[in-house]
Structure 1
Amino acid sequence: MATPVMDKVEAAAAASPYITATFRIRRFNPEISDESTWEDFQVEIDPKERVLDALHKIKWELDGSLTFRRSCAHGICGSDAMRINGKNRLACKTLIKDINPEKPITVEAIKGLTVLKDLVVDMEPFFQAYRDVMPFLVTEGNEPTRERLQSPEDRERFDDTTKCILCAACTSSCPVFWNDGQYFGPAAIVNAHRFIFDSRDEAGEQRLEILNDRDGVWRCRTTFNCTDACPRGIEVTKAIQEVKRALITRRF
């Protein structure tokens, strides 16, 4: 017959929200080896917490050498994009309970960009493509004495592509980008779209010519990987198609 003390212990264990989840992380340290390896970590954690919380526990309690990027931890900065169970996601927006914690949860760096260490990749090629499409408002003439007005309808035209947080989840999910790092990639095209269709901007033709390059918008194969990967729900493939249409019709 169980004692009252044991009953309380068993009841407390049964009521505990914590589970033990296995995180299988792809590790890479160029100072140690040219090859990457998988390493398992057992983490006791509430499944309602996020993958980022688990990575923090691993780094702070199990292995301080684990390297990854994160900043705001609220899905705004986009710095913690990584492949989780084979899909590009933001670690700060991915709940453990939503990715089947009964099996090992795989975590690795996003594809198509050079891995510097563990989950950190070299983002410079990604940001260079972003800079190349002129992601800023271009106007001519004198500086206005009042703000440039825009109708709600004109603003709605490019509203979707203003949501980009430059996490690279879309670009690094693109098979064309994996095979040819010269392709501008979905994120750059999305940010060009944001200004091409802005009624206040006067450099739409210039951006279209930039994207008319052999490594530009025509490289897209419309696989929809980018749209599926976007953590902000941007219709990336639709934006790319609209840029293609603008190149053909010169209407935007």
Structure 2
Amino acid sequence: MATPTLDKADSAGQPEAGFADTPYITATFRIRRFNPEVSADAVWEDFQLEIDPKERVLDALHKIKWDQDGTLTFRRSCAHGICGSDAMRINGKNRLACKTLIKDINPEKPITVEAIKGLTVLKDLVVDMDPFFQAYRDVMPFLITKDTNEPTRERLQSAEDRERFDDTTKCILCAACTSSCPVFWNDGQYFGPAAIVNAHRFIFDSRDEAGEQRLEILNDKDGVWRCRTTFNCTDACPRGIEVTKAIQEVKRALITRRF
């Protein structure tokens, strides 16, 4: 966390060289609260903070929980954009709270924070991730080969073959893409972008031998054909994955059976 720089005046009352004004600003965080033990309805609650705008939204949520309201509930773990656990809607856009600087989201106005859409809210900013992870498990996100024996050496792969699916290896399962998808909002049975991205990662892996099986899973009525190519998923991905492109490549593989 940033440490405030204190003013220090000389005998004439002027700030001494090397000492600047405090960088802190007053920011308002408008958080959508939901506690099923208290009410069936969600409400918006404002919190004001003195905070350095170079800090992150996650830092602000920590300050609120530790200093103002210990009942505020949200997920976080590594705080470095790797675990994917703190995905939420900030100013109406899916983001990772640990990667979003306050200065980048116009702190002069109230900053809205709410749970991601399309998944049942359990409390405050925490949603039920079970349907998301079930779709992930359904596409068999692991290497499958016909050889039942353990390999005696590495399964070698050329740099070109590895590059073919490099982009989709970056997924951190934060659900930002899936919960930004309007199809998923309206029909939770849709596999969703993240599941398709993780299927893509193995469909196009030259070492894997279950590509046809995964394609048939995604050929289902709730599979890849439900995508409407709105690019919401690509815009929402905090890792910069070209999600829509990956989905189109899976569609093409289903038509051509070439992968």
Give me the TM-score of the superposition, normalised by structure 1: 0.95
* Partners of 1:47 and 1:15 in 2: CA distance: 14
Residue deviations 1:58-109 (CA, integer Å, cap 9, x gap): 0000000000000000000000000000000000000000000000000000
* Partners of 1:85 and 1:7 in 2: CA distance: 33
Secondary structure (helix, strand or coil) at the match of 2:88 reads: strand
1:14 to 1:40, Cα distance in 2 relative to 1, 3 A: farther
How many residues of Structure 1 are paired with residues of Structure 2 in the alignment? 251
Residue deviations 1:138-183 (CA, integer Å, cap 9, x gap): 0134322100000000000000000000000000000000000000
Secondary structure (helix, strand or coil) at the match of 1:20 reads: strand
1:159 to 1:42, Cα distance in 2 relative to 1, 3 A: same
Aligned to 2:68: 62
* Partners of 1:12 and 1:158 in 2: CA distance: 51
* Partners of 2:128 and 2:4 in 1: CA distance: 58
For the Cα contact (< 8 Å) 2:120–2:127, is it kept in 1? yes
Greater fraction of residues in helix: 1
> What is the percentage of aligned positions where both structures have the same residue?
92
Residue deviations 1:15-57 (CA, integer Å, cap 9, x gap): 0000010000000000000000000000110000000000000
Q: What runs of 5+ residues in structure 2 fail to find an aligned partner? A: 9-15
* Partners of 2:46 and 2:90 in 1: CA distance: 14
1:101 to 1:11, Cα distance in 2 relative to 1, 3 A: farther
* Partners of 1:221 and 1:112 in 2: CA distance: 16
Aligned to 1:85: 91
1:4 to 1:124, Cα distance in 2 relative to 1, 3 A: closer
* Partners of 2:198 and 2:3 in 1: CA distance: 66
Correspondent of 1:230 among 237, 240, 243: 237
Secondary structure (helix, strand or coil) at the match of 1:89 reads: strand
Deviation, 1:14, is 6.9
CA RMSD of aligned residues (A): 4.2
Give me the TM-score of the superposition, normalised by structure 2: 0.92
Deviation, 1:7, is 9.4
Deviation, 1:4, is 22
1:179 to 1:5, Cα distance in 2 relative to 1, 3 A: closer
Q: What runs of 5+ residues in structure 1 fail to find an aligned partner? A: none
1:207 to 1:42, Cα distance in 2 relative to 1, 3 A: same
Aligned to 2:80: 74
